[in-house]
Chains A and B, each alone.
Chain A
Amino acid sequence: MEQPGGAPFSSGPAESPAAIIAAMRGRGQTNPERWVDEHGDLLFRYALVRVRRREVAEDLVQETLLSAMRSREKFAGQSSERSWLFGILKHKISDYFRELGRETSFTDLESLADEFSEKFVPEGYWVHVKGPKEWKPEADEVLHRAEFWQTMRNCLDKLPERIANVFMLREMEELESKEICSMLSISESNLWVMLHRARMALRECLEINWFNREK
């Protein structure tokens, strides 16, 4: 099934990288202007989820495409063009937060601090009837459900900005904790507190809006 918004990341039938590049060059397909039409909207949409500001997201897409244009000779054709561009965008997002981390404090120990106190009795155990429910279907099955991704996006949007940022750096850009700490100039223990709150809130939001909705 064709996905709305464009083809998925896979590069189709296996061909040798050299053959793919030769074919692309032959058809004039490395024309960067074409990237704007074919991948611009999706790059922009992801950047917007990450930075939440339209003008910053547009700048990141521009930097990504410029960077891709400069390094297009290095594109080995081992992945699809789109995943190559997304790889560059993820680096640009990391650079953006690294720069921002020098100017502003990323530590946020206030947001969501008491958000989940009603989930536990005073003795520290779960309020059993409000405890986590079994999640069905399994992760590999929801990957193919567009509604799941929409719910995930809505839940990410509800997270406080800095909490969402550290979560996405860790789980979407897949950076190590130490890397995030040095990037954002925050301590490891503060990062763990923020990640814990992000996971708790996201888990709760998905359970209410996706897993319980299914029943």
Chain B
Amino acid sequence: MATKTPTPNPRPADDTSLLQPHGWLQKILVWIVSEATPKCRDVVRILSEQMDHELPLITRWKLRLHFVACCWCERYMRQLHYLRETARHFPQHIGEVQGPALSPEARLRLKRVLNNP
């Protein structure tokens, strides 16, 4: 039976994962982590759900374990919080965004309506 060859997936220089597959022991540990935790494609979905409701304890522990060998998912989680933190300030900064103004007609209409509500 032919065994499936894993897709080549080199780790770039900015890989800051705590556990990296450099020696045989680390390779085994990374393999255990990848088998015991969801795959990255599912982790990002779960991380988004975590922004909206509390996850079961076991899922939260699996995520923590996953982060040990995957700095990308851990970064993704921090970036979801970054998005939340900045997005909620967006309305206050709308004056710094280019965009159309009220048309002179709309401005006149508004003033007329406010004078005769």
Residues of chain A touching chain B, judged by Cβ–Cβ distance below 8 Å, are 3-9, 32-33, 35-37, 40-42, 44-46, 48-49, 54, 58, 61-62, 65-66, 69-70, 83, 86, 90, 120-129, 131-135, 139-140, 142-143, 146, 148-150, 152-153, 167-168, 170-172, 174, 177, 188, 191-192, 195-196, 199-200, 202-203, 206
Contacts and interface: CB of A to CB of B under 8 A. Distances in A.
A129 B15 CA distance: 9
A152 B73 CA distance: 22
Contacts of B82: 135, 139
A62 B102 CA distance: 11
B3 interface: no
Contact of B41 (A54, A120, A149, A168): A120
B11 interface: yes
Given A61-B102, A121-B9, A192-B48, A153 B97 contact: yes
B62 interface: no
A126 B85 contact: no
Contacts of A129: 10, 12
Contacts of A8: 92, 95
Nearest to A86: B91
A8 B53 CA distance: 33
Interface string B49-63: 101110000000000
A40 B34 contact: no
Contacts of A49: 94, 97, 99
A122 B100 contact: no
5 contacts: A36-B107, A46-B91, A131-B12, A146-B97, A199-B51
A170 B49 CA distance: 12
Given A58-B106, A203-B76, A149 B90 contact: yes
Nearest to B114: A32
Interface in B11-58: 11-12, 14-15, 34, 39-42, 44-45, 48-49, 51-53
A22 to B, nearest CB: 22
Contacts of A140: 85
A32 B84 CA distance: 33
The 9 closest A-B pairs by CB, nearest first: A124-B39, A5-B95, A131-B72, A171-B87, A146-B96, A196-B48, A121-B7, A132-B75, A45-B99
Given A5-B94, A36-B110, A134 B75 contact: yes
Given A121-B7, A123-B7, A42 B49 contact: no
